Chain A
């Protein structure tokens, strides 16, 4: 255990853990986004429900889900504690500051962006994950599916607005986090780093955009 204690104690080790858990969440986002995008087939959720059904009953996916929640929890707790500890390193603040002259605002706001995401996430899990796993609201025998649940949730404009704000926070969180994770793991290379940055920028734009399109499209009745 001593071998891995640095991941929770040293400044670099803690960042390594943020990077590893962050990248695993990036991988999850890709799968999540891909499966949910099945609603855009506009076949009354037939393809989407089949994919959701597979994800819910495949034992490999269910095992990975445990790992996902573990990683997510570590990312949240470590992120919050790092963010709070970093804020104490300059007790006397600058009276004049020019942060925009040397860095991007979102790179300096990962704690706030992450916290916004956390608020969104609690609501999001309550909407779909809790309902599908722990209640019997969604049962094929009753003729109600996860797709139907989406339609119900996104009829109300309030969740739509919150989901879009959540996606915007996600975009900026990823815009810094994706490439930053590689730097934290010690990967900075004259050839690969520009590629990583481009892939990261594209990912941060496309994935949140596709996610945001789902509640909007459902609310406006484009998808039935």
Chain B
């Protein structure tokens, strides 16, 4: 086993949505081979053993595909590495003796539930407003009955890798959700199954996005730079294009 690293943590503690939060300082000895969340497990065990309240944080699959983990580490969502979620960030990305600041996603659209856990149901409401296709249920259709060109399938798939974690909102100075909405709109409007509703969908999703209290886009590119799935900024251009075209059609 590799030598343990001595780390100083400054962790945001907040009792509930209404209460004001503050930083608590902790000391943790962590293996460089641990993931960031495993390091938090060690911290929480220490806290439980000393009769203190463990830190609440979101996690589920711990393999970078569920989109639950959400920590802003030293001012960067999912930490210093590119294309990595917090659960897949390893302690070897830090140095022995480092002080690490950990905060929750901060945005009006993502209220803090407790400590590092935020309420991301705003994303669910955006999806419910139009992020789906309408189809008649019945027997499964033959896989190749609707042909999709390979390059279209690839581009739609690239957008579809969005895990809806909210790092884009968290990184954006305006707390804008456009990379998320752009990824969903791009994915659905490119494929034949999504085309019939593309215009009403984009307008409904953008209206919902605005109503949820997310900001507008300044094209700083911070969202795409911090996205753990490396969704490109071009999905926001596609979103803009789809929206303008829908509006020009009187939708």
Give the residue name and chain of the A residue nearest to B74 (CB). Answer: A96
Roughly how many angstroms separate A85 CA and B176 CA in the complex, as a whole number?
A: 12
Quick one: which of B12, B175, B216, B237 contacts A90, CB cutoff 8 A? B175
Does A104 lie within 8 Å of B206, measured CB to CB? no
Q: Which of A30-38, A117-125, A184-192 lies at the binding interface?
A: A184-192
Given contacts A95-B23, A102-B171, contact A176 B219 (CB under 8 A): yes
Given contacts A10-B206, A11-B206, A95-B101, contact A16 B213 (CB under 8 A): no
Number of interchain pairs (Cβ within 8 Å): 137
Among residues 169 to 202 in chain B, which have CB atoms less than 8 Å away from a CB atom of chain A?
171, 173-176, 178
Among residues 202 to 230 in chain B, which have CB atoms less than 8 Å away from a CB atom of chain A?
206-207, 209-210, 213-222, 225-226
Residue A110 CB within 8 A of the other chain: yes
Give the residue name and chain of the A residue nearest to B20 (CB). Answer: A92
Does B107 lie within 8 Å of A104, measured CB to CB? no
Given contacts A89-B174, A92-B106, A98-B76, contact A12 B219 (CB under 8 A): no
Give the residue name and chain of the B residue nearest to A106 (CB). Answer: B220
Does B247 lie within 8 Å of A14, measured CB to CB? no
Given contacts A10-B206, A96-B74, contact A185 B250 (CB under 8 A): no
Q: Which of B51-59, B132-140, B238-246 lies at the binding interface?
A: B238-246
Given contacts A96-B74, A188-B238, contact A180 B218 (CB under 8 A): yes
Quick one: which of A15, A101, A108, A186 contacts B173, CB cutoff 8 A? A108
Count, chain A residues at interface, CB 8 A: 41
Residue B236 CB within 8 A of the other chain: yes
Residue A59 CB within 8 A of the other chain: no
Give the residues in chain A near B106, CB-CB below 8 Å.
Answer: 90, 92-94
Does A97 lie within 8 Å of B174, measured CB to CB? no
Residue A130 CB within 8 A of the other chain: no
Does A185 lie within 8 Å of B219, measured CB to CB? no
Residue B103 CB within 8 A of the other chain: yes
Given contacts A102-B221, A185-B244, contact A86 B74 (CB under 8 A): no
Quick one: which of B112, B225, B242 contacts A102, CB cutoff 8 A? B225
Does B103 lie within 8 Å of A103, measured CB to CB? no
Among residues 57 to 105 in chain A, which have CB atoms less than 8 Å away from a CB atom of chain B?
82, 85-99, 101-104
Residue A183 CB within 8 A of the other chain: yes
Given contacts A6-B247, A91-B108, contact A86 B76 (CB under 8 A): no
Roughly how many angstroms separate A4 CA and B219 CA in the complex, as a whole number?
A: 23
Give the residues in chain B near A183, CB-CB below 8 Å.
Answer: 219, 233, 236-237, 240
Give the residues in chain B near A179, CB-CB below 8 Å.
Answer: 219
What's the nearest-Cβ distance from chain A to residue B218, in Å? 6
Residue A115 CB within 8 A of the other chain: no
Does B221 lie within 8 Å of A188, measured CB to CB? no
Quick one: which of A89, A96, A107, A187 contacts B103, CB cutoff 8 A? A96
Roughly how many angstroms separate A110 CA and B240 CA in the complex, as a whole number?
A: 20
Give the residues in chain B near A85, CB-CB below 8 Å.
Answer: 215-216
Roughly how many angstroms separate A101 CA and B217 CA in the complex, as a whole number?
A: 18
Quick one: which of B171, B214, B239 contacts A89, CB cutoff 8 A? B214
Contacts A12-B217, A89-B108 known; 9 new A-B pairs at CB < 8 A: A13-B247, A86-B174, A90-B173, A96-B75, A98-B75, A99-B173, A102-B222, A103-B225, A184-B219
23 contacts between A and B (CB under 8 A): A3-B247, A11-B210, A12-B206, A86-B215, A89-B108, A90-B107, A90-B175, A95-B103, A96-B75, A98-B74, A101-B76, A102-B171, A102-B220, A102-B222, A104-B220, A108-B218, A108-B220, A180-B218, A184-B217, A185-B241, A186-B244, A188-B233, A188-B236
A interface, CB within 8 angstroms of B: 3, 6, 10-16, 82, 85-99, 101-104, 107-108, 110, 176, 179-180, 183-188
